[in-house]
Structure 1
Amino acid sequence: MSQTNQFRCVEFFVLFIVLPVSLAINFNVWIKVGLVASGFIYVLWVLRKSEAIKFTVKKNIDWNAFWRRLGVTFLMVVIATTSYVWFVDKEALFFVPKTNPMLFVFILFVYTFLSVWPQEIIYRTFFFERYEVLFKNKTLFIFINAIVFSLAHLFFRNTLVLILTFIGGIIFGYTYLKFRSTTAVSIEHALYGNWLFTVGMGQMLAFPGMEPMS
């Protein structure tokens, strides 16, 4: 293994294993914020300097294929999650949009631009462009991405969150490898995440405005 690839392995371990696990440990929250911010700045720096990524919307994407695929998967998500909330806690179904529409719209905006976009920069754009050289098997590559994406949500200490983010990681990883677009995968991620908030599963993802699910 070359020195460059050895460095990438160490980098991968620190950014995608050590850092997420540390966030699940109890220590000063501002130190955690500083660690996350430092990691994100490092990711942006590497993308610009080493990977020569330009943060522009790609024009040569088959958007028709993307929207067709998204329509099918989103319909499945809508049916599954609506059924889940209906049977687990019917009172939570569409709770925030019904009771606090202004908060609902505000959270959709904040989540999309301040949570989804940074996550996709780190876990799709950086991860796939930086570590693809280390993996010959694309299926294994996507699986590993889903594992570390789920690990990033370990601090929620919620098994359902870990399962959902693992499934999301599989979907988002496939989308990025197929379309090579941060914009496309961010749209997909935002749609699913915002839907979970909309349908009434926001509390488990720390969205505000939800009454505790019974």
Structure 2
Amino acid sequence: MKSVLYKATEFFIIFILIPVSFAISYSPWVKLAIGVVGFAYIIYVLLKVENEKFKIAKNLNWKLFFRQALIKLLIIACLTTIFVWFTAKEALFGVLLNKPKLWLFILFFYSFFSVYPQELIYRTFYFKRYHDIFKNKYLFIFINAIVFSLGHIFFKNSLVLALTFLGGLLFAFTFYKTKSTLMVSIEHAIYGCWLFTVGMGSMLGFPA
């Protein structure tokens, strides 16, 4: 399971074949089964093959992390607020103002049941398994952003693909520097929750 050929085949199936197949119309129950089996396989490989320890790393610079995350959030907030104002003004902060309970529920559900599994797959698993295949750091991170975007192809929305590619770059650089699934999950949750809050949730598959 550690040979280059095995990993290359594994990479193709998990990060290309399965996401592309989810964009094709067939039974959602079959898709769910594929997703569950695939996620179980990833957890198995992390625990039994890569000996990954799911614990919070020590000596993490949380102060620097939150400072940088806040700066990036302010930039994202300005750009997305302007975007929603000009493209869908009626949606601006719509869920927050009109359905605050739904807003809180979505933020909780998204953070714990969507963000963390995504980061286990696209950062923890990806970086652990394929770092020895892609020798160039920037190519490694670029491909991570590409496959992260491809993982959202089932939305069939070019804006979603663009947003997730940019997000993938941010999260990949964060994980590359920190090696912390917790940190990158928090960052992912912060930006994702903001997008839902500002009024872009419908394009990301959330109830609006």
TM-score by length of structure 1 reads: 0.95
Q: How far off is 1:60 after superposition?
A: 1.8
Paired position in structure 2 for 1:151 = 150
Instruction: Deviation per CA, 1:89-115: give whole Å up to 9, x if none.
Output: 111000001011111101110000110
Instruction: Give aligned-pair identity as a percent.
Output: 54
| Distance verdict in 2 for CA 1:90–1:3, change over 3 Å | closer
User: Are 2:93 and 1:94 equivalent residues in the alignment?
Assistant: yes
Alignment of structure 1 residues 168-187 onto 2, 5 Å: 168-187=167-186
* Number of aligned residue pairs: 208
What is the CA–CA distance in structure 2 between the aligned matches of 1:111 and 1:69, rounded to whole Å? Answer: 22
Paired position in structure 2 for 1:70 = 69
What is the CA–CA distance in structure 2 between the aligned matches of 1:68 and 1:129, rounded to whole Å? Answer: 27
The aligned amino acid for 2:70 is: G
What is the CA–CA distance in structure 1 between the aligned matches of 2:8 and 2:82, rounded to whole Å? Answer: 41
Paired position in structure 2 for 1:121 = 120
What is the CA–CA distance in structure 2 between the aligned matches of 1:188 and 1:3, rounded to whole Å? Answer: 30
What is the CA–CA distance in structure 1 between the aligned matches of 2:80 and 2:96, rounded to whole Å? Answer: 16
Instruction: Deviation per CA, 1:42-79: give whole Å up to 9, x if none.
Output: 00000001111111111221112211211111111000
What is the CA–CA distance in structure 2 between the aligned matches of 1:89 and 1:3, rounded to whole Å? Answer: 48
The aligned amino acid for 1:118 is: P
User: Are 2:31 and 1:32 equivalent residues in the alignment?
Assistant: yes
What is the CA–CA distance in structure 2 between the aligned matches of 1:103 and 1:151, rounded to whole Å? Answer: 28
The aligned amino acid for 2:130 is: Y
Structure 2 residue matching 1:57: 3-state secondary structure? coil
Q: Which runs of 4+ in 1 moved over 3 A?
A: none
Paired position in structure 1 for 2:134 = 135
Instruction: Deviation per CA, 1:153-206: give whole Å up to 9, x if none.
Output: 000000000000000000000000000000000000001111110000000011
What is the CA–CA distance in structure 1 between the aligned matches of 2:170 and 2:25, rounded to whole Å? Answer: 31
What is the CA–CA distance in structure 1 between the aligned matches of 2:104 and 2:22, rounded to whole Å? Answer: 28
Structure 1 residue matching 2:3: 3-state secondary structure? helix
